[in-house]
């Protein structure tokens, strides 16, 4: 293990919407679609494109929990 980010969800890039500063990436995973907002500079540097195999990385302190069946 090379970094401390605990959550890594693999998937395929389905959609990229870019503005000058930020881009929204939609990833298809076995848990459904995930949305990531990253800098457009990173999209260019990674040469990210539709169909790429990627992992979504999420620090554990950024995950909240919702109880199902509750109102």
How far is the C-alpha of 46 from the C-alpha of 24, rounded, in Å? 14
Q: Select from 14, 28, 51, 53 the one that contacts its own copies (CB under 8 A).
A: 53
Instruction: State the minimum distance, in angstroms, from the CB of residue 8 to its own copies.
Output: 7
CB 60 within 8 A of CB 6: yes
Q: Which of 14, 28, 36, 50 binds its own copies (CB under 8 A)?
A: 36
CA pair distance 8, 35, nearest whole angstrom: 14
Q: How far apart are CA 38 and CA 45, in angstroms?
A: 12
Q: Does 14 bind its own copies (CB under 8 A)?
A: no
Residue given tokens 């992992």 in the structure block? 55
Does 51 engage in binding with its own copies (CB under 8 A)?
no
**Residues that bind its own copies in the complex, under the rule CB under 8 A:** 1-10, 17-25, 27, 29-32, 34-39, 41-43, 45-46, 48, 52-71
């Amino acid at each position: 293990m090379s970094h401390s980010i605990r959550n890594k969800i693999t998937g395929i890039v389905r959609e990229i919407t870019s503005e000058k500063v930020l881009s929204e990436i939609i990833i298809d995973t076995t848990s459904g679609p995930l949305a990531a907002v990253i800098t457009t500079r990173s999209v260019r540097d990674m040469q990210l494109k539709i169909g790429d195999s990627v992992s979504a990385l999420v620090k554990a302190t950024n995950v909240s929990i919702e109880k199902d069946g509750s109102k």
